[in-house]
A and B are shown apart, each in its own frame.
Chain A
Amino acid sequence: MNISFELNGKKITVDSEPEKRLVHVLREDFGLLKTRAGCHAGECGACTVLYNDMPVPACMLPMFTVRGLSIVTIEGFSKTPEYKDIVKGFEEASYEPCSYCSSGKILIVHALLEQEGEPDDALISSALSGISCTCSDYRTLIAGVKMAAINRKRKKRDRKR
């Protein structure tokens, strides 16, 4: 079945079974390997993508559900200035996620900052509760998100000037 959707800002059409999980199409048909296939239950966060700007697990999306919509993976998002805000924030807080969870965490943080400019600890913890990786200290992660929020706010202010 030909399924057309927007992937990382480009309109594409892929020939795929409608019941195939999006995470496998991204990895096998497009070589986007940073979206990892983990639990297949939507609970580990390793396959998080932005689905019409909402972070969702790509393992829970059969291909027939993505027709006509926008999907952004970490590879596409890494080319945006918003990505740099977050990575810089993480660096400033000395937070280093592992390669398994960093994609999911960055996309979720981006969606959180778009919704809440200055999230508090509880909101950050809640938003990231769907990532089961425990590679590093949670407090440093929260500090990293707050630094990213400051970076983003500063950039918006500079743009207005």
Chain B
Amino acid sequence: MTEKDNSPFTFTPKSLNDLLSLLRKRKEAQLYAGGTYILSRQTEKYLNLPHEIIYLGRIDDLKRVHRTERYLEIGSCVPIGRILQIGKRLLPASLYLCLSAIGSPGLRNLATIGGNLCVREMRMDSFPVLHLMDVRLELRRQGSARWLSVSRFLKSDGKPAIEPGEVLTRIRVPLENWDIQIYRKLGGTYYSNTNSLTFCGLARIQKDIVSDFRCAFSRIGISIYRNREIEAEVNGCKIPLQGKENQLITQKFSESLQEYDSSLTRFQKNRMLYLFQWFLSQLKIE
């Protein structure tokens, strides 16, 4: 048998029950889904892996996709490439754009949406989109399950609010109609991370009035920036926004950025401001 002294112990449960039972016994084991984050930034032939690994790739229960009229339920270990195969017409546009911007096509056939959400350095891709869409997450442990809004998924230190013995199993995306869906990703999770940025904007327009306006930013280490006061300012406005109205809202947004994070560089603030202004300019009669 060929094994080095530091070869990991790998467990490969075949069912969700096996996994939950294993999680209770092997508290220190690292969960491994697509592995794209664990393997990133390693260049050696032999990978430097945690001592104990629980490989999730064989659990069919975590790889199901289920669609109803109201929502789309995605297993946490569904590869992103497979989610994209559902198609542009069935996936919400902002989610499709977000997932299409993650890695290369080959990597997307390995990376999972659960991993993208749970790993802090990767979270800037999908978290703002899922946050704005009021996505709910299922967390299961042996003997119990709970659903949690994605807005409550992170603790104040940025770590996922997953209790010992729990695992993220499903992601429920509401299928709602949005008149405008925008997603932009600048830079990436692998680049010098202080300047990477993602932006997501959603809006509903009814009779030329903005009825629901949402926007959020994310960058590495800062999972979400979303200002509901600014969103409330835009809600109820007639489109297209008038010059003074636009200016006032933009100014309030700019001031809020100052208060939000004093470590933001001028470059980052300007980018966030331009993206916000651009989103406002998209609120127009078709």
Task: Report the minimum CB–CB distance from B44 to chain A (whole Å).
Answer: 8
Query: Could you list 24 examples of A-B contacts with CB < 8 Å?
Result: A1-B1, A2-B1, A15-B2, A16-B2, A17-B3, A17-B46, A18-B8, A19-B7, A24-B45, A40-B42, A40-B44, A41-B190, A42-B39, A42-B106, A43-B104, A43-B107, A51-B109, A54-B79, A57-B107, A62-B47, A67-B12, A126-B105, A128-B105, A129-B104
Q: Mask for B32-67, Cβ within 8 A of A = 1, else 0? A: 100110011111111111000101011000000000
CA distance A48 to B32 in the complex (A): 21
Let me know if A60 and B35 touch, CB within 8 A. Answer: yes
Known: A15-B2, A17-B7, A65-B35. A60 touches B49 (CB 8 A): no
Known: A60-B39, A62-B47, A126-B100. A17 touches B110 (CB 8 A): no
Number of A-B residue pairs with CB-CB distance less than 8 Å in the complex they form: 101
Let me know if B7 and A56 touch, CB within 8 A. Answer: no
Task: Report the minimum CB–CB distance from A84 to chain B (whole Å).
Answer: 24
Let me know if B39 and A54 touch, CB within 8 A. Answer: no
The yes or no answer to A20 lying at the interface (CB within 8 A) is yes
The yes or no answer to B4 lying at the interface (CB within 8 A) is yes
Partner of B109, one of A2, A41, A56, A128: A56
The yes or no answer to B85 lying at the interface (CB within 8 A) is yes
Let me know if B7 and A42 touch, CB within 8 A. Answer: no
The yes or no answer to B282 lying at the interface (CB within 8 A) is no
Q: Which 4 A-B pairs have the closest CB atoms?
A: A130-B104, A130-B105, A64-B10, A19-B47
- Number of interface residues, chain A, beta carbon within 8 A: 35
CA distance A51 to B82 in the complex (A): 13
Let me know if B46 and A42 touch, CB within 8 A. Answer: no
The yes or no answer to A55 lying at the interface (CB within 8 A) is yes
The yes or no answer to B103 lying at the interface (CB within 8 A) is yes
Let me know if B106 and A1 touch, CB within 8 A. Answer: no
Task: Report the minimum CB–CB distance from A17 to chain B (whole Å).
Answer: 5
List residues of chain B with CB within 8 A of the CB of A45: 104, 106
By a beta-carbon cutoff of 8 Å, the part of chain A in contact with chain B is 1-2, 15-21, 24, 40-43, 45, 48, 51, 54-57, 60-62, 64-65, 67-68, 108, 115, 126-130
CA distance A17 to B58 in the complex (A): 20
Let me know if B10 and A42 touch, CB within 8 A. Answer: no
Chain B's interface size range is 35 or more
Let me know if A54 and B109 touch, CB within 8 A. Answer: yes
The yes or no answer to B81 lying at the interface (CB within 8 A) is yes
Known: A1-B1, A18-B10. A130 touches B35 (CB 8 A): no
List residues of chain A with CB within 8 A of the CB of B2: 1, 15-17
Task: Report the minimum CB–CB distance from B78 to chain A (whole Å).
Answer: 12
Task: Report the minimum CB–CB distance from A73 to chain B (whole Å).
Answer: 14
Q: Quick one: closest A residue to B40, CB to CB?
A: A41
CA distance A136 to B55 in the complex (A): 40
List residues of chain B with CB within 8 A of the CB of A48: 106
Task: Report the minimum CB–CB distance from B42 to chain A (whole Å).
Answer: 7
Partner of B39, one of A55, A62, A67: A62
Q: Quick one: closest A residue to B2, CB to CB?
A: A15
